[in-house]
Amino acid sequence: MELSLDVPSALEYVGPAVELIANSCQSGILSPRRVAFNLRTALAETLTNAIAYGNRENPDRLVQVRVEITATAVKVHVVDEGAGFDPSIIPDPTLPENVQRENGRGLFVLRHLVDDVAFNDKGNAVCLTLLAG
């Protein structure tokens, strides 16, 4: 099964988009807890960043979301129209010198909520993978 959704670049659309996608993932390959917590939290973080940082809340830009549900995984692709970023330069928020920083925790959290986080070369597209089971 596949679902595609264009989300306007306004933060008020994050919640409804997350609910729509989470409700479509109730197919049974992910546990209800993983859908309720991991998927919803990871998608909300990703959409918020795409809208706020990628598209800079520009109403003329969209965030494209595509969800692939197979027998073995749920893959959520999120693409914004921004310039992108280099995820490798995001500092580890668990290091003592970074604990007081206000930013940089989102990617750390994502990597602990889903089984795989993969960015395109430009850094404006991410694929979140949650494996079945």
Q: How far apart are the first and last CA of the chain?
A: 18
pLDDT string in tens for the chain (133-residue length):
999 999 999 999 999 999 999 999 886 799 999 999 999 999 999 999 999 999 999 999 999 999 999 999 999 999 999 999 999 998 888 889 988 887 778 899 999 999 999 999 999 999 999 999 7
Whole-angstrom CA distances from 51 to 21, 38, 64, 78 are: 17, 20, 10, 11
The H-assigned helical ranges of the chain are: 14-24, 32-33, 40-49, 105-113
User: Which domains, from first to last, does the chain contain?
Assistant: 2-131 (3.30.565.10)
User: Given this model, what pLDDT does residue 39 score?
Assistant: 97
Task: Please answer whether residues 15 and 31 qualify as being in contact, where contact means their C-beta atoms are separated by less than 8 angstroms.
Answer: no
Strands 2-8 and 62-69: antiparallel
